[in-house]
A and B are shown apart, each in its own frame.
Chain A
Amino acid sequence: MSAGAGAGPAVGEVVDVGEWAKPLPGLDAVNGPYWKAAREGRLLIQECPTCGHRQWYPRALCTACGADPVWLETTGRGVVHTFTVIRQQGMPAFKAELPYVVAMVELAEGPLVFGSMPGVDPDLVAIGTPVEVWFGVADDDTGVPFWRPVP
């Protein structure tokens, strides 16, 4: 599976990446909707109806004012805020993909989001590179957001 610039899925596309061998989040009442939405091709963050603060990762409260946040669907676009190229990793599922980019993406909606770019040539990535989300299918309830440069 390749997700290199110009060759990968469209923004927001949900991709069958075969048998899932990487670690996954433990699902709970708060994060469940986030991972389920990703399974359906939507990247969510949270927004506070009281103070307007936006946050990622999802929580049971607004970290700014303490009120109950609500979900906000993003455009799935952003720019690379910072990144690294992982060249050594002991875990087999990741070792098979070396080298790969791990990055913080600054969403168009504001918050920084953590993720990776499997299959993307690291030379195509720099701070400021525009990127878009796609989703790998882990199981029926869990999609995992990944990133690639905007073609």
Chain B
Amino acid sequence: MSAVIQDLVNRPYEAGFVTPIEADVAPRGLSEETIRLISAKKREPDWLLEFRLQAYRHWLTMSEPKWPNVHYPPIDFQDIIYYAAPKPKKLKSMDEVDPELMRTFEKLGVPMNERAALAGVAVDVIFDSVSVATTYKQKLAEVGIIFCSISEAVASHPELVRKYLGSVVPPADNYYAALNSAVFTDGSFCFIPKGVKCPMDLSTYFRINTQDSGQFERTLIVAEEGAAVSYLEGCTAPKFDTNQLHAAVVELVALDHADIKYSTVQNWYAGDENGVGGIFNFVTKRGLCKGASSKISWTQVETGSAITWKYPSCVLLGDNSIGEFYSVALTNHRQQADTGTKMIHLGNNTRSRIISKGISAGHSNNSYRGLVKIGAKADNARNYSQCDSMLIGSRCGANTFPYIQVRNRSAQVEHEATTSKIGEDQLFYFASRGVGAEEAVSMIINGFCKDVFQQLPMEFAVEATKLLGLKLEGSVG
């Protein structure tokens, strides 16, 4: 690979800083005691403690999945801190938020204060494991929307949380989901009642802060009949040398005619050029199109993490329901990503669409893994999948693993895949027309990703474009 391309892909991580905030930290290690401690700290009802303990006991019987195309040293689950919280404070207004924290948000460009108001974004901020501030709750409450941390929801709307928690991703679903169900510390809860179209995009920024604290968010979004919501998740993490485990669970439930759009831009620390440090990201995201004509759409831009293991999926149970998955996954240096989706068609006339764009640079490895499953009773189901890979330089890899299981003859399943390369010749072609390598790469990447970027809310699309540029561009010379 030429020096130019190498420079391009070697720009340092720009969000790598640690905010010194006093943390209330649980001792390292995982046991029933740790779980009881978390539950007690959060003053949880008995049913939730029981939910956690059952998940934990099940987890003990499970083993880590070995099928993903990723490689990492064994994780010592007894060397992880499962609970860390900023010192509890009662916050009445934004002025009371720790200024250090505010500066962190500023550095990250989080639209939380007045900027949030102008942008029309309500932000439920996760800082380590406890929510610090929630804006716009009032405005949302007027239309009956509940948008708060999941801990708050457990206290204020226990019946709703109890009804839906674990209903899409059961605690025993997979190794990391079981772990999350046992030890999740916080996350977002969002409930859109019948007939309500959420008047603004809901947004959560996650940031891992305390060194070595595993993060186990739990997000639950429920859209009742005819409700609609667009939810944005953005993440970035400070630079550390030891790997940080992250195992989130996101559950979405859409009832009849409900519409949920979930967008993620993920920029966690990916490790240095040699792969040291960086986040291990093992996430279970699943949406249930429970009602007729419901729709769930996942859009993700994955640029960070040392290892990404993530398959936002849709279970299309309601007749005429629609599932969508739009993804850009970028890997560089020694990053490994095994990501994709599952579309499970159970209802009649269900439709799904998969658009996946994988970009690999450096020595990275990027795999798309997708499952399209058409159940025996799902008449006239349809799927369209398109998986495109782009290789930058010659030392990276891309794989596509499409699995298709069709049990109903009326199904129509289409799969297309392409692989393209950006090498010296493409960059020289641009250069010979007066265009430098940075601009060239950014134009190629944006062109390659446009089908996905189009799905993102406007500001998010701009952010995503900048982020990809940042990840691939560097001083050329």
Do these two chains interact? no
